[in-house]
Structure 1
Amino acid sequence: MIVDNALYRNGVRVPLEADIADLRSVRARCDEPDSFVWVGLLDPSADELTAVADVFDLHPLAVEDAVNAHQRPKLEKYDDSLFLVLKTLWYVDEEDAVETGEINIFVGSDFVVTVRHGQGSELHGSRIYLESKKELLVHGPTAVVYAVCDRVVDAYESVAASLEEDVDEVEASVFAPERTDDSPRIYVLKRELAEVRRAVLPLRDPIRRASGGTVAGMSPNAAPYFRDVGDHLSRVAETVDNLDSLLSSAFEAQQARISVQQNEDMRKISAGVGLVAAPTLVGAIYGMNFDHMPELHWAFGYPFALCLMALSSLAVFVFFKKSGWL
């Protein structure tokens, strides 16, 4: 559906009496220099997006990508317009899950059409921010592209910060005195980091091109703003790489710790077997019932055998205790 449909002139929103769904009426008023239209759509149907495409003469291949969604971040030029794809991210802490959405942006000389899929990174805040910054909004459609990219990348930083907290929890758990099994959570977090990486890494090239002021159809004067977005994006990429390395190290440390714990368990089991083996040996020898065995008819033979069993177990216990097996 159409969320908003606004006309901007010289960095100021122009009041309109037309219905937001009346795209042609609003577009017809965009007949002066330094004016443009910004149409925002949320989860539109194919018919709705086709109607928008007819008004703004959008390329059918770009429209198809916007309808299908699930595109990788990219910046492509079609005739006189640009098509930018962004992945949106938000974090569900209870599930250690990174949820994804998508924003498609059609950019022309006098229009911007944003198509949002999913619940992440709503754009109303970006619109309000731009409308309060006339000096930024005078850059036209390029300013909208910057504001959307800036909001999306800020959400990336928030997700990265949440993942950092979870990775810190995993590290603390791995090296805690009590035994824990953190392998499933490590796997989940590495999978979510891969999801973040799929959103962040492909976006670096479009932002780099925009920050160089070399993208036809975008104002070169907005390059410094995109360089700021690029810096934030690089910081997120570095954070993701560092977290992935930390999780790999935590997994290796846990496996090593499990091996050590298993060795300790085996030593304790062996020591326990040794404690039982010594008296068992004495009992087995004196349970063979041969006629000519010593002490069989001795009055103190039974107490002597019991004492021998106890002393042998005590000797084994002292030995293992000194060696650290118990």
Structure 2
Amino acid sequence: MPNLPSHSSRRTGAAAPALRIPAERAVVDCAVYVDGMRLPGRYAHGAALAEVRRRGAGFVWLGLHEPDEQQMTSVGRTFGLHELTVEDAVHAHQRPKLERYDDVTFLVLRTVNYVEHESVTTTKEIVETGEIMLFCGRDFVVSVRHGDHSALADVRHRLEAAPERLALGPSSVLHAVADHVVDTYLAVVDAVQPDIDDLEELVFTPDTRIAVEQIYLLKREIVELRRAVLPLATPLRQLTRGAGNPVPKEVRRYFRDVADHHTKVAERIADYDETLSTLVDAAIAKVTVQQNTDMRRISAWVAIAAVPTMIAGIYGMNFDNMPELHWEHGYFVVIGAIVAITVGLFVTFRRNKWL
């Protein structure tokens, strides 16, 4: 007969212990690679690492998606990851960086994705970001993803189709993921270019109105893109150096190519930022000119309206002894004078392009 909770526990409302969700729930894929080839079968991460160490060759690639603290702690305990890196992998929101903890390399990459939209003047978001964290040891790679757009399935398939690269060891995965992330940077900056061109055309087209807030929105997205991309330059530089670098020489050559692509992306982002700053200044100047034009137009109409108002005000004071009050044609003279003066003012303002 199953054990039932006691009456005392029901009365006091004692909380049931929290369920422990196994780390496998966060696992996207776990594979063992030996001599560049994936071993058949499905492995739990503990069994995969045990198989590699039993063989004395190959490595494990474990892919996780947004693990919670319990799941990541279990993985960290299995692979011997430092507790600080485990905490970073759970909470994310890290800057791109490269750190060494004993014989484990910890690399943080920020991912970016272009949000499709109909018009740059109506959208609220253009670029979204995520993170990929990589733990690279002697016989394992653990990739931790945050965000729905940072999938690595295509990277894994491309590497499995090139066993000679996987045979170089876990650092080949490190390079492949970094290369994939930088390639997405290039795709995003290419996609952002038409948005900047559209804003530029709107700003410099005569007789068009544009809200400066839309330029600020795009500039904010470029700032977010810059914060995700630019800090990666230092980790890539560290991965291409020879002294004390755990990455094999064959893989370092590939990292130099990734660093070159990253430099191109950084230069384009800097150009975008400068262009948007110029567009902000131009849009503000355009708004100022438009406001001055509107104020001149309003002032001209006020001046025209002031003439009949002034004359009507004078002859509406109801004094008995006022000139021209008893003229036979006084009313028509006053109306004619009002019309003549207002027409004269209208023509003058029109010639001066105030109206």
For the criterion TM > 0.5, the same-fold answer is yes
Deviations 1:261-303 (A, max 9, x none): 1111111111112212233343344445556655433322221
Identity %: 46
Identify the match of residue 87 of structure 1 among 82, 87, 110. Answer: 110
- Structure 1 distance, partners of 2:277, 2:62, is 44
Is the 8 Å Cα contact of residues 52 and 58 (structure 2) preserved in structure 1?
A: no
Q: Find the counterpart in structure 1 of residue 91 from structure 2.
A: 68
Structure 2 gap ranges (5+): 1-25, 118-123
1:103 and 2:126 aligned: no
- Structure 2 distance, partners of 1:20, 1:2, is 11
1:313 and 2:336 aligned: no
Q: Secondary structure at the match of 2:328?
A: coil
Q: Find the counterpart in structure 1 of residue 252 from structure 2.
A: 223
Q: Secondary structure at the match of 1:93?
A: coil
Is the 8 Å Cα contact of residues 34 and 140 (structure 1) preserved in structure 2?
A: no
Report the residue type matching 1:211 in the other structure.
Answer: T
1:160 and 2:189 aligned: yes
Report the residue type matching 1:296 in the other structure.
Answer: L
For the aligned residue pairs, the C-alpha RMSD in angstroms reads 2.2
Q: Find the counterpart in structure 1 of residue 169 from structure 2.
A: 140
Q: Secondary structure at the match of 1:112?
A: strand
Pairing of 1:220-259 with structure 2 (within 5 A): 220-259=249-288
- Structure 1 distance, partners of 2:341, 2:277, is 48
Is the 8 Å Cα contact of residues 30 and 60 (structure 2) preserved in structure 1?
A: yes
Q: Alpha carbons of 1:172 and 1:96: their partners in 2 closer, same or farther (altered >3 Å)? A: farther
- Structure 2 distance, partners of 1:249, 1:186, is 10
Deviations 1:1-27 (A, max 9, x none): 112121212222222x3x322523553
Is the 8 Å Cα contact of residues 49 and 140 (structure 2) preserved in structure 1?
A: no
- Structure 1 distance, partners of 2:273, 2:204, is 18
Q: Give 1:207 deviation, angstroms.
A: 0.6
Pairing of 1:1-326 with structure 2 (within 5 A): 1-15=26-40, 17=41, 19-31=42-54, 35-94=58-117, 95-214=124-243, 216-288=245-317, 293-326=322-355
Q: Give 1:107 deviation, angstroms.
A: 0.7
Q: Alpha carbons of 1:25 and 1:142: their partners in 2 closer, same or farther (altered >3 Å)? A: closer
Report the residue type matching 1:157 in the other structure.
Answer: L
Is the 8 Å Cα contact of residues 214 and 220 (structure 1) preserved in structure 2?
A: no
TM-score relative to the length of structure 1: 0.91
Report the residue type matching 1:61 in the other structure.
Answer: L
Q: Alpha carbons of 1:64 and 1:279: their partners in 2 closer, same or farther (altered >3 Å)? A: closer
Which contiguous aligned blocks of 4+ residues in structure 1 show a shift greater than 6 angstroms?
Answer: none
- Structure 1 distance, partners of 2:68, 2:207, is 53
Q: Secondary structure at the match of 2:168?
A: coil
Deviations 1:64-117 (A, max 9, x none): 221222211111111111111111111223432422221111111111111112
Deviations 1:121-159 (A, max 9, x none): 211110001111223222211110011011111122222
- Structure 2 distance, partners of 1:165, 1:214, is 43
TM-score relative to the length of structure 2: 0.84
